[in-house]
Amino acid sequence: MYFIFKEEYMMRLKPGLQKLQLNREKGPFPDRYPFNLPALRQLNSLNLHPKVTYLTGENGMGKSTLIEAIAVANGFNAEGGSINFNFSTRPSHSELHEYIRIARRPGKFRTGFFLRSESFFNLATEIEKLDAGGGGRPIIDSYGGRSLHEQSHGESFWALFMNRFSGNGLYILDEPEAALSPTRQMAMLVRMHELIGQQAQFIIATHSPIVMAYPSSIIYELTENGILKTAYTETQNYLISKQFLDNHTGMLRILLNEKKTD
């Protein structure tokens, strides 16, 4: 009982995001993007886990739109990076962040990062551009000291996780598995666990059953019927992946419409 009490007390002291609320009094337009997305039509609020909150679901349900809005509402650049980045290659983010309110615990994170897989190339370019201008310690030193463009996509992601991420930080990640092998995805869980032990908080949009396996978490599945809190082994991504791996030959026959031969 003492340890449960102690953990709850420490969580109250830990900085972090507690709840997302859509400010409908401000007047979101139900027939206009992104408010017309199925998963967002009925959204009023989401409780956020002090360690890890996952957003998962089929393509087109609004995962990236929602996680982008959470990031921008917390002061991050829409194309990714820390709150100190302020570049725009092609403005494409929605207005959803203007209608979001975030409830926070007392205290401030020391650091943070928004990883958007689709625009990570633009972020790497911006780092090189800023460093070429001189004026202090090179930014790339915080990412391992080697140009992110001179590494494979997976290596550059891993350099970010291992060098730029640190304790007492807020990390908002959009499909981090995009460049990571299954082995690296498992290693990512280990790295997340290290950082969570140092008071970090993660919000992650993902399709990967490996990435969303962290046990101390909330998983929200975005569906045609709204946003549903879902157990890990009941998510569609888990069930479909397991079904395929348990019987890949049978699944391939069905998918490729092939007849079984003796």
Choose the most confident range, by mean pLDDT, from 12-21, 105-114, 198-207. Answer: 198-207
As a whole number, mean pLDDT of residues 131-155 equals 85
Q: Please count the structural domains in the chain.
A: 1
Considering the domain boundaries, does residue 46 fall inside one?
A: yes
More confident: 85 or 167: 167
Residue whose C-alpha is closest to residue 95's, from 113, 114, 72? 72
Considering the domain boundaries, does residue 140 fall inside one?
A: no
Lowest mean pLDDT among 58-62, 86-90, 169-173: 86-90
* 26-69 pLDDT, tens digit each: 666 677 888 888 888 888 899 999 999 999 999 888 898 999 99
Lowest mean pLDDT among 1-15, 111-125, 178-192: 1-15
Q: Please list, in sequence order, all residues whose beta carbon lies within 8 angstroms of the beta carbon of residue 204, skipping any fewer than 6 positions away.
A: 52, 53, 54, 55, 67, 172, 173, 174, 176, 211, 212
CATH number assigned to the domain comprising residue 59: 3.40.50
Question: Looking at residue 131, what is its pLDDT?
Answer: 85
Enclosing domain of residue 68: 2-120+161-230
Percentage of the residues of the chain whose pLDDT score is greater than 70 = 89
Q: How far is CA 39 from CA 30, 36, 152, 172, 220, in A?
A: 12, 8, 34, 19, 10
Lowest mean pLDDT among 72-86, 103-117, 185-199, 243-257: 72-86
Question: Looking at residue 204, what is its pLDDT?
Answer: 97
Considering the domain boundaries, does residue 32 fall inside one?
A: yes
As a whole number, mean pLDDT of residues 146-175 equals 92
pTM of the entire predicted model: 0.89
Considering the domain boundaries, does residue 30 fall inside one?
A: yes
Q: CB burial class (10 A; 0-12, 13-18, 19+) of residue 155?
A: middle
Considering the domain boundaries, does residue 237 fall inside one?
A: no
As a whole number, mean pLDDT of residues 248-261 equals 84
Considering the domain boundaries, does residue 68 fall inside one?
A: yes
Lowest mean pLDDT among 3-17, 70-84, 242-256: 3-17
Considering the domain boundaries, does residue 213 fall inside one?
A: yes
Considering the domain boundaries, does residue 250 fall inside one?
A: no
User: With 60 as the cut, is the pLDDT of residue 9 above it?
Assistant: no
